[in-house]
Structure 1
Amino acid sequence: MANNSGENALVEYGARRVIITITVILCALLEIVDTTIVNVALNDMKGSLGATLNEIGWVVTAYAIGNVIVIPMTSWLSQQFGRKQYFATSIVIFTLCSFLCGNATSMTEIIAFRFIQGMGGGALLVTSQTIITEIYPKEKQGIAQALYGMGVIVGPTLGPPLGGYIIDNYSWPDIFYINIPLGIVATILSLRYVKNPPFNNKKSGTVDWWGIIFLAFAVGTLQYVLEKGQEEDWFSSTPILTCSIISVISFYLFIWRELVFEKPIVNLRVLKNKNLAVGTVLMFILGFGLYGSTFILPIYTQNSLGWTALQSGLLLVPSSLATAFMMPIVGTLIQKGVPQKILASLGMFLFFAYSMWGYTKLTSFSGEGDFFKLLMVRGVGLSLLFIPITTLSLSSLKGQEIGEGASFTGMMRQLGGSFGVALITTYMTRTTQQHRVDMIGHLNPTNPIFVQRLGAFTQKFISSGMTPDKAHLAAMQAIEGQTMGQAAILSYMDIWMFLGILFLATIPFILIVVKNKKGAKVPSGMH
């Protein structure tokens, strides 16, 4: 039924396509969920492994560093070893390291295994998109990207509630063990059904070792700075300053090496394409908003509203389902010729609306009902962003350039998320104190509201049996607690406003992207 010549030989039909689609989406979900599922388990892991809070944070950091190092090299690695073999090996590495992480008895062990697991996971994420693109004919690429996008966009929000459920009912090693049966099934299916493309497994005679070294140091140290910067007070910390310098120098040397070397590990020249250059910026912003908003909501609900980790995680599930529901619809719209840049612009506007809604409506008294409609807008907005941005970025690339360009979009999405979390964390820490200082200026005897509130608290504590002096002190402490809580709320509001303005300001950039002449069709070979 399929044309067996050239790239069309990879197109699948019927049950084979269904099996491969399920396999690669499962692999993408495993990788994405594992980036967030451990967050709710860190406290239990800390006690079990005898680690400090700073040390246990490396469980997250090591995975992120391994992830971001391997993503830009995935296109080259799949050419060296064959995409089918590389994909299956990555699943095995990810699954084996899941078992080893669950059995780790020291911080050294779990950090090492999480780093290797992150490298295997990064390969899964990028190669999964390559495969799902190749097995669908060009006229169904919108649907193909919608199916893949469900894993990428929905995955980050599934991790916290799933992790919270496992921690509440089982133990922390089980968050790793659940990967094992799924990984075994995915390995068997990939070896049985996935094919190598005709142009694959063309090994380069000379390996770009210096390019690999410079890339690893550049993105690895950058990821460390983003993960640990706020914790170490940024550039006042010698390790952060040292890593920042190493990252800048390594990026410079990496760019120089890749531009002069005959067979570079990452082809930077592909960024001359206008669509891809703009697309990488848009993907960075998408990662910033996706991971940033996923990060800020649980902190807000737990710290300001007193919710549990599981309650906070479950809050995002309905919007994730809305995203999953909308993905095939968006893919169909693109397939029918609706301009991608119009859909992406609408997605940016909806994310702006979501952010400004959060800025104006959410308070320290918000309940679950206040979030539902707001998060539905976020879910629909995200569904309108991922597929159009991906197709716009790669629409005017051809052949092997598509895989090379897609590595950039994957890396920029990950780095965008890291920048988002780092900047939001820093901003919250610093502006909360500033808002507190501003409000304290109004807490004085000349302010009748303050005097009234202080008197009410004092009387309350006296009626509970305290002496007047102790009651007054307790009243002052209660007002201080309220002040800090309100300062935190103001910081959250500032962040929502910033995210909204960022997405609104991005719309003009989307509208200037050169449109692919073939509209909805996306070339195969995309990563």
Structure 2
Amino acid sequence: MSGTEPIGQRTSGADSVGDAQLVGVQTDKWTRWMIAIAVMVSAVMELVDTSAVNVSLPYIAGNLSASVDQATWVLTSHLIANAVVLPLSGWLANYFGRRRLLILSVAGFTLASIFCGLAPTLTTLVTFRILQGAAGGSLQPTSRAIMLEAFPREERGQAMALWGVGIVIAPIVAPMLGGWLTTNHSWRWIFFVNLPVSVLGLFLVWNYVFDPPYIRRPSTPVDYWGMGLLAIGIAALQVVFDRGQEDDWFSSHFIVMMTVIALIGLISFTIWELRSSNAVVHFRLFRYRTFVTGTTLSLVLFFALYGSIVLLPLFMQELLNFPAVTAGVWNSPRGMATMAVMPLAGYLIARRWDMRALLTGGLIVSAIGGYMFSYLNLNVGPWNFLWPEIVMGAGLSFMFVPLATITVDPIPQEEMGYATSLIALARNLGAGIGISVFATFVARREQFHQLRLAASMAAKHNLPAITSQFQGYLMRQGENSGHAARQALTLMSHQFAAAGLYAELSRWVPPNGDAVIYRGAVRVDYEKA
């Protein structure tokens, strides 16, 4: 078959959801893998950019004469716009066509990135970050839908293995890339670096991706009410997640107001969509038990995963005094292990291994890796992180690939775009909740450990000797002896409290998070569309 043949062309007599409609039946192997690379490049570009900006916030604040608190809106604005567009991706793909939507999204994301890099003020930067987030919101679900359709059912495991490599590696490598670009060049290069990647992505999408014939623009009127209610609800919810800990959660009138708006918006949206004949989000997909279970597991998995991704760099930098680039390098073995093992997971699925068994095994291995992290202390060096990272990364491989494959197994082809948008929304909500919960847990439990240590340190430790070490460190940094003595006690209690906190968290996050996922995983069953 020619590589330029429309990817969804039907074969004569094919039923509406059978494998004969799948793109993979109509294209050669080379074309299928070029499609996979094209859509993965586009999706990973957006993920890397989102994560890389985190490490540059202090530099952005200083360069644009703003406080770090004000600079956090560079992140918040992007996340809000991204979260609003995510659940609309299925409808947008039908309205514009998947190929056109992907091209418009990549082009819009790149153009907004260039303007972000040129922004002279914080207000300008936040404005273009909103546009960038909106343009990038449909990249993940649309790319995933195209990839699933490009491969026949028996090859989907291998396709999802390639997809998973990018999705897992991006948030791990991005902080290292962002730190290097910011330190050696400028924070503006975090945005400019998207240009060559997007050119490659656009070239591949233009030449290899085509719309299947069943993608048709809806004949019913646009559901503006549904879109509006969804935008209000999701935007308010994202603000609550992003600003909750900083504003002391429900002690803040602003957070309470945003929570009420989110609840009203999302409840109203759900009621409206269930009664609408032209819904922008297809809740009828939840009639598939496998889809419901897989989507729920994705939410819980990303909740636990992003908790550990956030905690480990903080432990390395704040307690072990690793430079940002070093912390990034020693976070990368997890991604490298995931990348190495994922093809094996895809191969086993292609050989018809039980995906439920693979998923359960991945959860157990990942939990073991998390438990290994709990034995790290302030006396460890970089190499002590290697095996826990590798074990957890290997476990993640056997979690992502089966879960991604099982979840969409019963979904008809014409509903695939709507399904992947809901899965992407669940993942993002899980990550947002995870980051918020563990940020709050860090703040509250660190206070607990400080109070506990203050009562017991004098009895259990050589307090004068330890205080003297901290005082000497501060004096070497230029503090006078009197101020250094006062600061030594504060710094010492903070360090020991934080050490206890991270040990406590690393025991709790991966094993218990995975245990929750495990109880759901064993209930995953196959359904036929």
| Same topology, TM > 0.5 | yes
1:230 to partner: Cα distance: 0.6
In the alignment, what sits opposite 1:489? Answer: 499
In the alignment, what sits opposite 1:255? Answer: 270
Write the distance in 1 (CA, Å) between the matches of 2:131 and 2:437: 27
- Write the letter of the residue equivalent to 2:103: A
In the alignment, what sits opposite 2:318? Answer: 303
**2:105 pairs with 1:90:** yes
**2:376 pairs with 1:366:** no
- Write the letter of the residue equivalent to 1:497: R
Among candidates 35, 54, 66, match of residue 69 of structure 2:
54
1:385 to partner: Cα distance: 1.1
Structure 2 CA distance for partners of 1:476 and 1:136, relative to 1, 3 Å: same
Write the distance in 2 (CA, Å) between the matches of 1:109 and 1:350: 46
Q: Deviations over 1:305-364 (max 9, x none)?
A: 1111111111122221111111111011111111111111111112211221112x1112
In the alignment, what sits opposite 1:347? Answer: 362
In the alignment, what sits opposite 2:151? Answer: 136
1:479 to partner: Cα distance: 4.0
In the alignment, what sits opposite 1:498? Answer: 508
Write the distance in 2 (CA, Å) between the matches of 1:194 and 1:456: 63
Among candidates 389, 400, 412, match of residue 375 of structure 1:
389
In the alignment, what sits opposite 1:417? Answer: 431
Superposed, which structure 2 residues align to 1:270-285 within 5 Å? 270-285=285-300
What SS does structure 1 have at the residue aligned with 2:333? Answer: helix
Structure 2 CA distance for partners of 1:440 and 1:201, relative to 1, 3 Å: same
Is 313-322 or 416-425 further displaced after alignment? Answer: 313-322
What SS does structure 1 have at the residue aligned with 2:210? Answer: coil
Superposed, which structure 2 residues align to 1:92-491 within 5 Å? 92-359=107-374, 361-444=375-458, 447=459, 449-450=460-461, 452-454=462-464, 457=467, 477-491=487-501
In the alignment, what sits opposite 1:511? Answer: 522
Structure 2 CA distance for partners of 1:202 and 1:384, relative to 1, 3 Å: same
- Write the letter of the residue equivalent to 1:368: P
TM-score (norm 1): 0.92
Write the distance in 1 (CA, Å) between the matches of 2:467 and 2:193: 50
What runs of 5+ residues in structure 2 fail to find an aligned partner? 3-7, 12-20
Write the distance in 1 (CA, Å) between the matches of 2:421 and 2:297: 14
- Write the letter of the residue equivalent to 1:498: W
Structure 2 CA distance for partners of 1:106 and 1:335, relative to 1, 3 Å: same
Structure 2 CA distance for partners of 1:298 and 1:456, relative to 1, 3 Å: closer
What SS does structure 2 have at the residue aligned with 1:196? Answer: coil
1:443 to partner: Cα distance: 4.2
Structure 2 CA distance for partners of 1:460 and 1:138, relative to 1, 3 Å: closer
What SS does structure 2 have at the residue aligned with 1:197? Answer: coil
Write the distance in 2 (CA, Å) between the matches of 1:456 and 1:441: 16
Write the distance in 2 (CA, Å) between the matches of 1:487 and 1:286: 28
1:150 to partner: Cα distance: 1.1
What SS does structure 1 have at the residue aligned with 2:81? Answer: helix
In the alignment, what sits opposite 1:520? Answer: none
Contact 1:459 1:471 in 2 (8 A): no
Q: Deviations over 1:367-392 (max 9, x none)?
A: 11110000001111111111111222
Write the distance in 2 (CA, Å) between the matches of 1:115 and 1:190: 24
Contact 2:301 2:513 in 1 (8 A): no
1:29 to partner: Cα distance: 1.1
- Write the letter of the residue equivalent to 2:503: M
1:190 to partner: Cα distance: 1.5
- Write the letter of the residue equivalent to 1:491: L
In the alignment, what sits opposite 1:12? Answer: 27
**2:40 pairs with 1:25:** yes
- Write the letter of the residue equivalent to 1:5: R
Contact 1:28 1:125 in 2 (8 A): yes
Contact 1:364 1:486 in 2 (8 A): no
Contact 1:32 1:152 in 2 (8 A): yes
Q: Deviations over 1:46-101 (max 9, x none)?
A: 11111111111111111111111111110110101111111100011001001010
Write the distance in 2 (CA, Å) between the matches of 1:388 and 1:8: 19
1:510 to partner: Cα distance: 0.6
Q: Deviations over 1:234-275 (max 9, x none)?
A: 111122111110001111101101100011000112112211
Write the distance in 2 (CA, Å) between the matches of 1:486 and 1:443: 10
Write the distance in 2 (CA, Å) between the matches of 1:17 and 1:392: 20
Runs of 4+ in 1 over 6 A off after TM superposition: 459-462, 470-473
In the alignment, what sits opposite 1:75? Answer: 90
Is 452-461 or 368-377 further displaced after alignment? Answer: 452-461
1:480 to partner: Cα distance: 3.7
Structure 2 CA distance for partners of 1:330 and 1:9, relative to 1, 3 Å: closer
What SS does structure 2 have at the residue aligned with 1:512? Answer: coil
Write the distance in 2 (CA, Å) between the matches of 1:258 and 1:303: 47
- Write the letter of the residue equivalent to 1:84: R
Q: How many residue pairs get matched?
A: 509
**2:36 pairs with 1:36:** no
What SS does structure 1 have at the residue aligned with 2:154? Answer: helix
Contact 1:226 1:422 in 2 (8 A): yes
Contact 2:149 2:413 in 1 (8 A): no
What runs of 5+ residues in structure 1 fail to find an aligned partner? 518-522
